[in-house]
Amino acid sequence: MHGIENWFVPEQIFGEGFDFQGELLDNMTVHPLGGSVNLEWIVSKQVLHAPERWHAYEKVYINMDLFDVSDIDIHTVSATQTVSIPYVIRSVHTETISAHSFRLEMESENGDRFCFVYQAARIRNVKPAALNPLTKEYEVTT
């Protein structure tokens, strides 16, 4: 994916060509005054090379930041114009706009679309996740 400094990290775990298509966008935090966006993913794709310290896991949690976001475009199909997280992402596309500018476009299964133009991005965390039987939610395991 274009403009993500350490994209090699998820590619080492899931294999070359990994992307977020078909994955769950569990949380999105937009900081328009700070010019950043934080995306939290729960990934179901098969892990090809798990780090040695990972023991039991069913899915993988990935936390990703976009920095110096200059354009935020969010279109919802709901009548209330609200964003309802979590989303299963149907399509993901990144492109290089210029030497220091990139675009991330995503569309959810329900048709909501998100577009961000940013200067840099970084994967902050990649951690194993397992289903908590009490809450019925996936939680990071250590």
Could you tell me the pTM of the whole model? Answer: 0.90
* Cα diameter, the chain: 48
Position 93 scores a pLDDT of 95
The token duo for 15 is: 């294999």
How far is residue 124 CA from its own chain's centroid? 11
Q: What is the pLDDT of residue 55?
A: 82
Residue 64 CA to residue 123 CA, distance in Å, equals: 4
Torsion of CA 130, 134, 135, 140, to 10 degrees: -30
Q: How confident is the model over 61-92, as pLDDT tens digits?
A: 999 999 999 999 988 876 555 566 788 999 99
Domain-by-domain residue ranges, the chain? 8-140
Q: Name the DSSP class of 111.
A: S
Q: What is the mean pLDDT of residues 44-70?
A: 93
pLDDT at 16 over 70: yes
Both tokens assigned to 50: 């798990």
SS3 8: helix
